[in-house]
Structure 1
Amino acid sequence: MLTLLAACQPALNWREVRPPQSEAAALFPCKPEIEQRPAQPGRQGAMGLARCEAAGRRFALSWAELPDPAQAAAALAAMPQALAAKLGQPLPQGQVLQVPGMTPLPEAFQHRLAGPGGVTRVAVFARGGRVYQALMTADADDPAAWDSFVGSLRVGAAAEAAR
């Protein structure tokens, strides 16, 4: 499959990435920079971000540990709303998202936001008290790149099984 992706999108060099302490695996079309912040007493839990840019498209996977796993559904609902507000756009209807290993929550969705500045695609999901956001931004939409990126996501035991 990776060979087929490379043939269709020569500017994107897909590779599997497992950011440390993320409990996630994803295909990125470039080598991502990874940033992490450990949990601090009295503050939010650990957070991390893996991001890169290839062929004019920006890809990112972020994760954050919530102090209470019961907050995951509310966090998933708020994350795409906050992104849409930041972009000055209404949040469009989303598509249900299934990521192997995720906690099944009805708030796990993917959205496509299009505006004068380009297209942003976002997916949100959780595993226990850890919430994730996958993001792709570009001047023009690239559904194949998004499908490769979001379709490769795995968390928890599913990420380990994919090794």
Structure 2
Amino acid sequence: MLGLLVACQPALNWREVRPEKSGVAAVFPCKPEVEQRPGMGLAQCEADGGRFSLSWADAPEGSQAGPALRAMAAAVATKLGQPLPSPQRLVVAGMTPLPEAAQYRLNGGGSVTRVAVFSHGARVYQAMMSGPKSDAAAWDSLIGGLRIEAAR
């Protein structure tokens, strides 16, 4: 009987979180651990073999948000030893509409990494999901659950 109950448990238990001082509401498939330093933060957790994260940082001024978004995406690709693929359109409720706001899918080394970068004013955000397999539904839930909130 216990085996049947465990088999019925969802591998991803989605919940809305609002990391303090992030200025964003997000959904995670597990309870994230949150780390903060002045002007930056990270919320992350692991579930069903994948790692889910949201990071944020303050650029010195809003005009530097676009270059910061490009640099963030390029840094992930470099870390994975891959070229940055073509960007895909990204819309997050409340984000500043910049052409550099985008999402990317990187494959290689036995894993799939999805990354999205966006901003609100001078604050830049990076959402990421990585794991051994592609899970489009989980990615859509992570991205679809992001929402900029007015107060930080």
Distance in 2 of aligned mates of 1:134 and 1:113: 14
Q: What stretches of structure 1 of length at least 5 have no aligned partner?
A: 1-8, 39-45
Structure 2 equivalent of residue 88 of structure 1:
81
1:19-77 CA distance string (max 9 Å, x none): 00000011100000000001xxxxxxx10000000010100000001111110000011
1:10-159 → structure 2 map (5 Å cutoff): 10-38=10-38, 46-157=39-150
C-alpha contact 1:32 1:50 (8 A) present in aligned 2: yes
1:100-147 CA distance string (max 9 Å, x none): 110000000000000023000000000000000000000011000000
Runs of 4+ residues deviating >2 angstroms? none
Distance in 1 of aligned mates of 2:45 and 2:82: 24
Distance in 2 of aligned mates of 1:82 and 1:34: 22
Secondary structure of residue in 1 paired with 2:51: strand
Given the two structures, how large is their TM-score scaled by the length of structure 1?
0.85
Given the two structures, how large is their TM-score scaled by the length of structure 2?
0.91
Distance in 1 of aligned mates of 2:149 and 2:18: 11
C-alpha contact 1:77 1:107 (8 A) present in aligned 2: yes
Q: 1:89 is aligned with what amino acid?
A: Q
Distance in 2 of aligned mates of 1:72 and 1:107: 9
Distance in 2 of aligned mates of 1:14 and 1:57: 14
Q: Aligned pair count? A: 145
- Shift of residue 156 of structure 1? 2.5
Indicate the RMSD between aligned Cα atoms, in angstroms.
1.7
